[in-house]
Chain A
Amino acid sequence: MITLHKYVLTAVALAFLITSCKKDDPATPDPAPVPAVSNTTLLIEHHIDDVPLTYDTLRYTNAMGHMFSVTRLEYYLSEITLLGTNGTQDLVLPGPYYINGTAGNRFDLGTLPAGEYAGATALLGLTAAMNQTDSLPNTTENINMAWPVPMGGGYHFMKFEGHFLDNGTSNGYAMHIGRNENLPVCTMPEPFTVASGGEVVLRFNLNQVFREPNVYDLSTGNYSMGSMMLMGQLRDNCANAFDIGYRP
C-alpha cells in the first residue's frame, strides 16, 4: 500500500516538476496527464488446470498420472511488476503478499495508472533481502513460514502439501521451496488493460507445478525440503504457473 502510494505520488510530483521546468519552452506541449483508475484490487486465484482449487479428497491428476489432493497451500508473492507499454510504465506492487489457499487473497491496490500493460513478472517467494530470519513482521503466518536457522534461515517461499495415490496407496507429499537459489521467478506474458476500477487477477495453476519443464514425480519427490535438486525442479516449474488478467 504505502509503496504504491509513494510511487504514484512520486510520479505525480515528478510529472509536476518536469512540466514546470518545461513551461518556459513554448515549443514543447504539456504531456497528456496519465489517467488513473481508483478502487483497484489484487486478487490471487488457484486452479488445477480449469478447475478451481478445493481442499478435498484425491480428485486431481498431475502430469505423471498421480491422483492427488491438496491439504495446504501457503506462499509469498513479492515484486509483482506490471509491465508497462508505450503509454504506461512498469509498476511494482507493494508486498510481499502472504497467500493462503484457504483465504480470500484480495488486496487493496488503491489507484493504478490506466492503460495497457504487457503482462507481469513476480517472485514466488521473497527477495534475498527479505529472506532472512526475522526480517518480516512476526505475524503468526510469517512465523509458521520460517525456514529454520540450522537449515539456512529465512522463510519458506511455498508450502504445497497434500496426498497422492501411489500404486493404490495414499501417501503424503510436502513440496516446500526455500533458499535464495530456489526462488521461482514467474513470468506472465498476457497483455491486459486497466480501465475502470476492477481487479488485477493472478491465477496460479497448481498443476503446472508438476508439469514442465520437469514432469515432477511425487513417488520420488514426496518431500522436497532437504533436496536442492527437487526444489530446483519445483522452482523451474513454477516459472510458468501464473497468468494475469484484469477484471473490470
Chain B
Amino acid sequence: MKYPALLLLILLASCTRKNMEELGPEAHLTTPFEIEPPHYFPVLDIPANNPLTEEGIELGRRLYYDPILSTNGPLAGRSCSSCHDQVTSFSVPTEGTAVLPHVNLAWSQNFLWTGKVNGGLEDVMRFEVNEFFQVDVSVLQAHAVYPGLFERAFGDATITNEAVAKALAQWFRRLVSTDSKFDRYLQHTEMLTDQELSGMMIYLSETGDCFHCHGIPLLTDNAFHNIGLDASFTGADQGRFLITGNPTDLGAFKAPTLRNIALTAPYMHDGRFATLEEVVEHYNSGVNPSPSLDPIMTKPGQITQLLLGPQQKADLVAFLETFTDDAFITDPELGSPF
C-alpha cells in the first residue's frame, strides 16, 4: 500500500514541478491547467496572482453548483447554477432581466448588462460574492471538506471572500466554447450549408452589418450600444446611462455574445423577443431612432432598416444557429460535481 501512494506522490510532484519552481519551496502542490483556444481567439490574460490550476477550477466548479454559497444571504437556497444552467449555455429563461450566459467571459472586460462591473473575472466575482450572494465564509469554513479544498487550491485552509472569488474566476476561465459548427467551418473541418453561407455573407457585410458589434470569434465587441429597442427610456431600460449618467449612453446595453444564441431565448436585456426571427425582424424593420441610437444602427442613406427579404432573414437565422456548441453544453467536466 505504501509504495503506490509514494509513486503517486512522485508522479504528482513531477506534474507540479513547474509551479513549485515558480513559487518557491514554500508553495503547495497544484497542477497547472492550460486553456488552448483556436488560433483565431485572442490571447488569454490570466492574472499572475491567480494562475489556472486543476485544483482551483475544481473548487470553483463545486462552489458554483453548491447552494451552500448562498447560506444566510439574500439568495439563500440557490446556487449559481440555479440561474446559470449548462444546457442553456449557463443561462436560464426568466421574466424580467435576462440572465446572461457564462461562456467565454475570460475575454470580457465589461460585465452585466449595464457594465456595472469592469475589469477582469476576479473583479466581477468579487461583486458576485460580496454583493450579490453576500457569501458567509464562516459557513464554508465550518464545512467538512471546503477548508481542505481551499488548502489544496491556494495553500491556505482559511477561507476568505477573496479566495472564493478567485476560485470562481478560475472556473469561469474554464467555461470556454470553441467547438460550434461555425468554429469547425473556420477550422476547415466542416462545411456550412448554402443557406448558412448566405446568412454568413449577410452577417459579415453591410447587408446585415452584425459583425461590427458581434464580430468573430467572440461574437461580441464587449462594448455598449443602444440598438433602438425603444424610442425613449425609463427605469431599467435606461441601461448604461444608469452607471455613467452620460446622455449618449441612454438605452445602451452590453452587446452579449451570440455563442449558443439559439439556446438562450428569450432575447435582449429584458427578454422581449421570444425567437431569433423576432430579433432579426427588429434589426430589419423595428429600430427606433433616438438621439443616443448607436451610430452603426444608421445605415447608408440615413435609414434605420436593413430591407432584408424573407429568404435573407431565414438565412441569417440559419447562420446564427451555427453558433451552437453542443460539446460545451454536454461536457460532463462542466456539469455538476455532485
Give the B-binding residues of A (Cβ under 8 A): 55-57, 69, 71-72, 134, 137-140, 143-144, 146, 148-151, 161-163, 166, 169-174, 219, 222-223, 225-227
Contact = CB atoms under 8 A, between A and B. Distances in A.
Contact of A174 (B211, B222, B291, B298): B298
A227 B301 CA distance: 12
B7 interface: no
Contacts of B221: 144
12 contacts: A71-B295, A138-B43, A143-B216, A143-B218, A144-B221, A148-B204, A151-B204, A163-B291, A170-B291, A174-B295, A223-B299, A226-B300
A116 B295 CA distance: 43
Contacts of B201: 150
Contacts of B295: 71-72, 161-163, 172-174
Contacts of B120: none
Interface in B103-132: 107, 109
Nearest to A223: B300
A140 B222 contact: yes
Nearest to A166: B302
Contacts, number: 85
Nearest to A156: B212
B215 A143 contact: yes
A138 B204 contact: no
Given A138-B40, A146-B216, A226-B300, 18 more contacts: A71-B295, A72-B295, A138-B43, A140-B218, A144-B215, A144-B221, A144-B222, A146-B211, A146-B215, A148-B205, A150-B200, A171-B302, A173-B298, A174-B295, A222-B301, A222-B302, A223-B301, A226-B206
**When A and B form their complex, which 6 residue pairs have the shortest distance between CB atoms, in order from nearest?**
A172-B295, A172-B298, A148-B204, A161-B295, A223-B300, A170-B291
B294 interface: yes
A225 B298 CA distance: 12
B281 to A, nearest CB: 21
A133 to B, nearest CB: 9
B147 interface: no
Interface of B: 39-43, 107, 109, 200-201, 204-206, 211, 215-218, 221-222, 247-248, 289, 291, 293-302
B296 A172 contact: yes
Contacts of A150: 200-201, 204-205
Nearest to B296: A174
A55 B217 CA distance: 28
Contacts of A225: 206
Nearest to A146: B215
What's the dominant secondary structure at chain B's contact region?
loop
Contact of B293 (A137, A172, A227): A172
Q: Which of B217, B293, B295 has the most CB of A within 10 A?
A: B295
B297 A172 contact: yes
Contacts of B41: 138
Contacts of B248: 55-57, 69, 71, 163
A149 B203 CA distance: 11
Contact of A151 (B40, B205, B217, B294): B205
Contacts of A161: 295-296
A173 B215 CA distance: 20
A151 to B, nearest CB: 5
A100 to B, nearest CB: 11
A31 B107 CA distance: 53
Contacts of B298: 171-174, 222-223
Contacts of B302: 166, 171, 219, 222
Nearest to B291: A170
Contacts of B39: 134, 138
Nearest to A141: B42
B185 to A, nearest CB: 12
B204 A172 contact: no
A55 B291 CA distance: 14
A174 B297 CA distance: 9
A140 B107 contact: yes
Nearest to B209: A225
Nearest to B252: A71
A163 B246 CA distance: 14
A138 B211 contact: no
B260 to A, nearest CB: 19
Contacts of B299: 223
Given A222-B302, A226-B206, A143 B42 contact: yes
A172 B296 CA distance: 7
A232 to B, nearest CB: 15
A134 B217 CA distance: 12
A223 B207 CA distance: 13
A150 B210 CA distance: 13
Given A72-B295, A150-B200, A137 B215 contact: no
B217 A143 contact: yes
A152 B83 CA distance: 42
A148 B211 contact: yes
A137 B39 CA distance: 10
Nearest to B298: A172
A57 B247 CA distance: 8
Nearest to B248: A71
A231 to B, nearest CB: 12
A55 B294 CA distance: 14
